[in-house]
Amino acid sequence: MTVLVTGGAGYIGSHMVLALTDAGEDVVVLDDFSTGFERLVSPKARIVRGDMGDQALLDRVIREHRIDAVAHFAAKIVVPESVADPLGYYLNNTVKARAVIEAAVRGGVPNFIFSSTAAVYGDAEEMPVTETTPAVPVSPYGRSKLMVEWMLADAAHAHGLNSLALRYFNVAGADPAGRSGQATQNATHLIKVAVQTALGLRPGMTVFGTDYPTPDGSCIRDYIHVSDLIDAHVAGLAHLRRGGAGGILNCAYGHGSSVLEVIDLVKKVSGVDFPVTLGERRPGDPARIVAAAERIRSTLGWRPRFDDLETIVTHALDWERRLLARDAA
């Protein structure tokens, strides 16, 4: 049994590959290395460099490696970029995902895990959002992912492809052993930006909006440690392999932190009082997104190990220091 991990050289995909190879699984990584890094890929995995939209390549990989599960991570993930380049997002995230799904169906692969997103909820009226909260995405990014959820549901019905769509909330942190983390230099995500600022890689940072209807006026998000997220994938894979039902699961802890709380914690953990500007709202940011996170616990028996923002920030800082030391060497 071999797992095909698309996007296995990316931030989250590389953690999945490490978890699988740590568990003794055979893994094939398919990545075009447009945003991924070969050094993040577990040396125990086989790497196929190529385009996940290449149907012939997919068919060959699935046949040659006797793939029994696909974990499909490869995607573009920047919401504002998706607004500027919707067709690029629909090609990469939707059309190419369709190719991966078709190859899985054609190759008789029984199990499929898909990286979905909380962005499918858009500006949900009910909070916390449950898996049955209407999915009304407000960005091309969210729509590009929601369409894949629909394809998977239809492929399950028509072809018996058993799949889990995992809706990620705000993923942060890094492998506690320091083997992988977020390596993109121009990342936009809050915790990455804050730790880079703490380490002097940015002169300062801005809080995007302090007039939201939240206790301190800044936006609230449900941050989840990347290793807990990956534990959920591993549990999801075991669930599918033993014939468990597919479906949709929120991946989050079920409680939120504000932007100002995150920044204060990064200052405390790093010991650096870096410059912070209180700025205007960033277009498209909902005030608060917090998950109802019961279904994933009851379905997969998943229990987080790092449900503590200070631990997440500590691991993100450790990783950023490693990157700095590597660049300096």
Task: Enumerate the active-site residues.
Answer: 141
**Residue (42 or 197) nearer to ligand UFG, CB:** 197
| Region binding ligand UFG by CB under 6 A among candidate stretches 40-48, 124-132, 155-163, 184-192 | 184-192
Q: What CA–CA distances, in Å, run from 1 to 12, 63, 71, 146, 149? A: 22, 12, 13, 29, 25
User: Closest distance between ligand UFG and the C-beta of residue 276, in Å?
Assistant: 9
| Region binding ligand UFG by CB under 6 A among candidate stretches 10-18, 188-196, 230-238, 269-277 | 188-196
The one among 46, 106, 282, 288 contacting ligand UFG by CB under 6 A: 282
Residue 70 near residue 6 (C-beta atoms within 8 A): yes
Q: Which residues contact 195 (CB under 8 A, 6 or more apart)?
A: 266, 270, 313, 316, 317, 320
- Footprint on residues 61-100 left by ligand UFG (CB under 6 A): 77, 79
CA distance 282 to 256: 19
User: Closest distance between ligand UFG and the C-beta of residue 194, in Å?
Assistant: 7
Which residue type sits at 288? R
Site map for ligand UFG, 212-251, x if CB under 6 A? Answer: -------x-x------------------------------
User: Closest distance between ligand UFG and the C-beta of residue 156, in Å?
Assistant: 24
Q: Which two tokens stand for residue 98?
A: 């369709």
Q: Is 118 in the site for ligand UFG (CB under 6 A)?
A: yes
**Angle, alpha carbons 321-322-323 (nearest 5°):** 90
Q: Which two tokens stand for residue 174?
A: 């890094």
Counting residues that bind ligand UFG (by CB under 6 A) gives: 21
CA distance 278 to 186: 21
The one among 58, 147, 207, 251 contacting ligand UFG by CB under 6 A: 207
**Angle, alpha carbons 161-164-166 (nearest 5°):** 150
**Residue (130 or 206) nearer to ligand UFG, CB:** 206
Q: Which two tokens stand for residue 231?
A: 């534990």
The one among 92, 111, 117, 133 contacting ligand UFG by CB under 6 A: 117
Length of the chain as a residue count: 329
The one among 205, 234, 265, 269 contacting ligand UFG by CB under 6 A: 205
Q: Which two tokens stand for residue 77?
A: 């993930």
Residue 222 near residue 256 (C-beta atoms within 8 A): yes
| Region binding ligand UFG by CB under 6 A among candidate stretches 34-42, 62-70, 182-190, 320-328 | 182-190
User: Closest distance between ligand UFG and the C-beta of residue 179, in Å?
Assistant: 22
Q: Is 289 in the site for ligand UFG (CB under 6 A)?
A: yes
Please confirm whether the linkage preceding 213 is cis (ω < 30° from 0): no
Q: Which residues contact 161 (CB under 8 A, 6 or more apart)?
A: 101, 104, 105, 109, 110, 112, 152, 155
Q: Which two tokens stand for residue 278?
A: 């209180």
User: Closest distance between ligand UFG and the C-beta of residue 28, in Å?
Assistant: 26
| Region binding ligand UFG by CB under 6 A among candidate stretches 159-167, 183-191, 230-238, 295-303 | 183-191
Interface positions with ligand UFG (CB under 6 A): 77, 79, 117-119, 141, 170, 188-190, 193, 205-208, 219, 221, 259, 282, 285, 289
